Amino acid sequence: MIKRLHQKGYIVVEGPLGVGKTSLALLLAERINGETILEGTEANPFLTSFYKDPKRFAFQTQFFFILKRFQRQEEINQIDLFKRVVISDFLFDKDRIFARTTLDDREFSLYEQIFQLLKVKILRPDLVIFLQARTDVLRERIKKRNRDYERSIELKYLDQINQAFNEFFFHYTETPLLVINASEIDFVNVPSDLDDLILEIERMQGGTKYYVPLGSRH
């Protein structure tokens, strides 16, 4: 299992807020002795203000994120991916999903110029795992983890982001893509769910594949 997973030197776990991408990235890294590069959302000093007043703080919040995510990508570029698997909980392209949702047209025009300049320097993953879930599931998981800066998130905004992620990955073709319905899987608390998911990752070769969680097959 470890040998075959090592053929995928750079794996990204993505998905909307609260879907469990960081948890899965950490679990996979632990299982295969890989290295994690995490985006560290909570480090953004504008995030609490953004959730309380999105229009006022969207620009500052997004530009902090794109620069921080680019810095994290630079760290990945320094790692020998032939010797160790890197698992990240963010895809650089996803920054644009949030920007298109939160910025006005003038702000986004400036953002887009910067995004395209940075994008050419980004390493392409060997595999992207997209965790998707219903908005009500995301809301409950966000409530359960009880982070201070997330308490002001409005359901409308959460649903907009969720739909934007689904739309983005519906058209995504840049890398092999494994789509997982995270509403129906508990890879954190159910070992068999994680085992079955890892087997599916091993089987991934190319294109897009939709994974049916173990519990949904009965």
b/e string for 67-83 if b means 16 or more Cβ within 10 A?
Answer: ebbbebbeebeebebee
SS3 173: coil
Contact between 135 and 158 under an 8 Å Cβ cutoff? The reply is yes
105 is catalytic: no
CA distance 197 to 213: 8
Angle between helical axes of 155-170 and 94-102 (0-180°, round to 10)? 130
Which residues make Cβ contacts (< 8 Å) with residue 75, sequence separation at least 6? 37
Task: State the CB neighbour count (10 A cutoff) for residue 10.
Answer: 20
Which is the catalytic residue, given 53, 80, 89, 196? 89
Close Cβ partners of 114 (under 8 Å, ≥ 6 residues apart): 63, 66
Tokens encoding 212: 């049916």
Alpha-carbon distance of 205 to 193, in angstroms, equals: 21
Contact indicator for 113, 152 with CB cutoff of 8 Å: no
Q: Which residues are tagged catalytic?
A: 89
